[in-house]
Structure 1
Amino acid sequence: MSDKPTPKQKKARPKWLTILWIIFKIIRIPVLCVLAVYIGLWVGYTKLGHQPAGEIFHMSTWRHLYDLVFAN
């Protein structure tokens, strides 16, 4: 007789849970990237620039910034 413990068998996951886990693994990096960009915009524009946070989503704000950066 051997003194080694027998390995426990893993429970089989339901198919829907496996699919949901795969989708989560694929989606998490892009979601984290978008979240990091939003947090960076918020910190830079509101905390460092002392501007209202709602202006982050206005296209005119970013058009003005683009014109400032790429002006001749």
Structure 2
Amino acid sequence: MTDKPAPVKKKPRPKWQKILWLIFKIIRVPVLALLAIYIGLWVGYTKLGQQPSSEILHISTWRHLYDLVFAN
């Protein structure tokens, strides 16, 4: 016969840790999505487009892009 060790009982987490873990699980996907968008913009605009990275989030850049795409 083999003796199985007694299962180790986990100590329950405090309520603040459960809440913090829940908040982390909820916001990780949107944060990762925004990070992926920013990295994609940076690679496309800076590395492929040879433009300064400081212009990525300027509204004038996106207005110009909009005008180029939707010009008559």
TM interval, shorter chain, is over 0.9
Structure 1 alignment gaps of length 5 or more: none
| Equivalent position of 2:12 in the other structure | 12
1 CA distance for matches of 2:70 and 2:43?
23
Point out where structure 2 has 5 or more consecutive residues left out of the alignment: none
Q: TM-score of the superposition, structure 1-length normalised?
A: 0.93
* Mapped partners of 2:40, 2:70: distance in 1: 21
Tell me the number of residue pairs that the alignment of Structure 1 and Structure 2 aligns. Answer: 72
Following superposition of structure 1 onto structure 2, how do residues 10-49 of structure 1 map, counting pairs within 5 Å? 10-49=10-49
Relative to the length of structure 2, the TM-score reads 0.93
Alpha-carbon distance in 2 for matches of 1:12, 1:53 = 47
Tell me how far apart the structure 1 counterparts of residues 34 and 25 of structure 2 sit (CA, whole Å): 16
Moved over 6 A (4+): none
Opposite residue 41 of structure 1, the aligned amino acid is: L
Displacement of 1:57: 1.4
Residue 3 of structure 1: SS of its match in structure 2?
coil
Query: In 2, Cα distance between the equivalents of 1:12 and 1:43?
Result: 45
Cα RMSD for the two superposed structures: 1.4
| Residue identity in the other structure for 1:3 | D
Q: CA deviation at 1:2?
A: 6.8
